[in-house]
Amino acid sequence: MRNSARTRLSLVVPVYNEAESIALFLDAIHRIFASQTGLDVELVFVNDGSQDDTLDRLLESQGKDARIKIVDLSRNFGKEAALSAGLQVATGEVVVPIDVDLQDPPELIPAMLEKWREGYEVVLGKRVNRDSDSWSKRISARFFYRIHNLIAEPGLPENVGDFRLMDRKVVEALNQLPESRRFMKGLFAWVGFRTAMLDYVRPGRAAGATKFNGWRLWNFALEGFTSFSTSPLRVWTYIGCLVATMALGFAVFIAIRVFVQGVDVPGYASLMVAITFLGGLQLIGIGVIGEYLGRTYIESKHRPIYIVRHIYEP
């Protein structure tokens, strides 16, 4: 049990072209935490190279609210990098990554804090439904979690995103991880710690539009598979053995048929099918190897995850 008189809470909010959502988000935060006693709130906005008025809106809001800290990145590095930047800057005893579009309901944070005071070091927000998502996104998300948890360790809790409460020791553990290609959902699961879960209904976006399209989601899924599993590499050993066994069996079948029925003129179609099938398998295998080789190449450069252009202190 934690019984400290005052608790410092940091909300880490990555933003990219979210000028329309900032005022709505801040209004919700002020409404929810105005009556919370014994709580100091820090708002860490990470501007991930926005091209609209997001930075101007943040600076305007900072002039009215001294709790706001703005980390302005030099360009768009992606949400995973922006989230990592926010975790590095946040100073709270507890840290909550949250989206500015209010699909992660800040109303759940007081209940998360209660779980934290009970001794849990991580409190996950789990979506009980995905009605706010399209049908294709719901189906693809279901397959992603099942395939990932089948081939990778540790498994990811299903329908849990970045929205969670983390104790300071969890944040420090995450900040020590050295990789530059970061799949944050996997890193959150990898560090472990004592975990609780709270269900919530995910609403629609308060404003703006999602920045994830089908192609970006596909690449995001590949990032998850290759970050925490070597099974896509290992499986080609078994596929090779299977294809070789089938080829050997087919060769025996052809030899027996020749002895029984005589020499048969081979067909062009079957030959082309065999060549293209094996060629396709080889190209897929090379592609999988290339995915891992590319990750190794990028990590070997030891480039920083992000570059901070400026930090605007209150």
Alpha carbon 6 to its chain centroid, in Å, reads 32
pLDDT for 73 equals 93
Q: Cα angle vertex 287, ends 232, 152, to 5°?
A: 20
Work out the average pLDDT over 42-55.
Answer: 90
Picking from 162, 218, 220, the residue whose alpha carbon sits closest to that of residue 189 is 162
Q: Are 7 and 94 in contact (CB under 8 A)?
A: yes
pLDDT for 288 equals 74
Q: What is the CATH number of domain 7-212+304-312?
A: 3.90.550.10
Check pLDDT > 70 for residue 263. no
pLDDT for 130 equals 61
pLDDT for 70 equals 92
pLDDT tens per residue, range 271-303: 666 776 777 777 777 777 777 777 777 777 778
pLDDT for 178 equals 83
Check pLDDT > 60 for residue 205. no
Check pLDDT > 90 for residue 96. yes
Check pLDDT > 80 for residue 118. yes
Q: Phi first, then psi: give them for residue 26, nearest 5 degrees.
A: -65, -40
Distance in angstroms (rounded) separating the CA atoms of residues 2 and 262: 85
Q: Per-domain residue ranges for the chain? A: 7-212+304-312, 231-300
pLDDT tens per residue, range 150-200: 766 677 777 788 888 999 999 999 898 888 778 788 788 888 888 888 888
The answer to whether the predicted template modeling score (pTM) of the entire model surpasses 0.85 is no
